[in-house]
Structure 1
Amino acid sequence: MYTGDWEEARQEGKDEKKWLLVNIQNEKVFDCQVLNRDIWKNESIIETVKENFLFLQYSKDDPRAETYCNYYFQNAQIEDEYPHVAVVDPRTGEQVKLWSKKVPQQAEFLMQLHEFLDRYSLETSARNPVAKRRSEAKKEKPVEQLTEDEQIERAMQASLGGRKESIKVPNEDPDDLTKSIPDLRNSSADDKDMTDVSEEETSSSSQTSPFASIPSDQPHKEPEMSSSVTRIQLRHPAGRIVRRFAIADPVQRIYEYLKAEPIEGKEGADFELRSLGKDLIDSRDSTIEEAGLKNASVMVEFVDT
């Protein structure tokens, strides 16, 4: 856990190329205690956070939380807004992911962390997803446009000391606003022009590639859930699949499964598997545990041929 203040954390995040993972706590909210019990003590989550994030956990009344709450969490005094967990880009100060009011179970939260790390990078050459839109604050209607019930509600608010209800911006996950936009992480300004590669060379390369050597007649039978079994989320352009694998299975079993039971409409298509931005083809002989894929999210990216 990072113990410095907000500005110090941003500087260290820039220097170490680590995202800022922020948890604002309210001791009166039971779900905040559940976070401490179930999420922040999970070994797999701890490993992922240590490697990729600076973890900041502040009480809502901690002076160190003041700057963060002023910018990102103006409703910090409202119990219904908890739990609050967010990811912030240390370079720009932009909040890029948010879990608000409800945090998923351990396995799903870990998958979402891995999914985030697949889509975003702090490398200077990376092109991260951009939000397609942001919701606007709900504007107050003129009285003549209100229904009878809404007029009564406004009159009641006015009677309580003449105060006007504050306009609240919905707590949306910024990451959700990018997901209909093609991922730009694999684009690069240095992409080479491959038009001079002949069809014959391409065909020969395909036949001898590690991917081509993986069999397509090995269907996968899911093992029963136990301590030696894990769930892996396979994300693809049309959605996602969650399957169980033994942690002692080689990574190649994931490739074999997708070749034997291809995603609808992608029969026979070449694909790459990526986790945390890393191509898994070179790890196909490693076990799922050795490759760090326990409860992981794996990207299935189809190769245009």
Structure 2
Amino acid sequence: MEATTLSESERLRLVSSFLGFAIGQTPEAARWFLQAKSWNLDEALFFFFQSVNQNPRNDHSPARSTNLRHEQQISSTSPLRLLFDGTFTEAKSAASRQEKWLLLSLQSRSCTLNRDTWSNDSVSRIIKANFVFLQVYDDTIEGRSVCSLYQLQTTPVVLLIDPTTGQQMHLWSGKIDPRAFLEDLVPFMDHGPRECSSSSVSRKRPRMDPMVAKQVTDSLRNMTLEAVFPPLPEEPQGSSNGGFLCRVGVRLPDGRRLVRSFNKSDPIQLLWSFCYSELEGWEGKPLKLRLAIPGASKTLEYGSNLTFEQSGLENSLITVTTWD
């Protein structure tokens, strides 16, 4: 679209998007850079960071910043290559035409999700190939509208939305572990929103195309292999009645059932350390740990940083399989 044909609302949207990456800048500075590049967002952002690098102490430059390092970090980790360039309504329309689910990231002007989740290679590849991805900031008009529409109280939040009905299908909040996020996306990757009702997606995992399944499995396997497991301490002695110990049952891939005590304050990462200590020759094979829940199961997240007490694993049974 030519710059001369842009409406004022479209220019305000571009200013808002620019400010989402150029932390600390003013709307006037954003307009200056966008106008200099005929309202091309990518070129304006490149021009901005190039200007900052060349004039870091020029107080008269529109790129003047009190937090240069933070801005450079956002530039290097931003999900710009993944983002849909348009409004929420336009993103829904595009997702509906492409028969893809809409992923909407609502966050404050920080790089928490940009740095920790969207910069992950596996996550970015999966999103780019299978979803329409929109990022909205909570201090914009559109951000406040989304908060009101979906009754959101805190950020960051990521919504998976049916683009035809606007129905919220899944929600993630706070810090998002890339491996757990990918696993949550699996049921939505085989069929588009027109082919799946909300009940069929949420209650029954569809059969996934073999190529898509291999892509996700490889990504999850690589993430698990990259983990560094903590050393396993000696098993604590005593009775769990004292309130300090947590007993957990584990069913290993070779069929053995073991029971092990941990301190309630220990991180659940020790479960992985324990399983590998009992499986000779399994080094390098990624393990999937699932908590048996009546009528369902839940995959434990290695990167959750929860303790045994926080995770509610006391007197539970963990089933151990592989990602293969």
Task: Tell me which interval the TM-score lies in, with the shorter structure as reference length.
Answer: 0.3 to 0.5
Q: TM-score when scaled to structure 1?
A: 0.41
Higher helix share: 2
Greater RCO (Cα-Cα under 8 Å, separation 6 or more): 1
Q: TM-score when scaled to structure 2?
A: 0.39
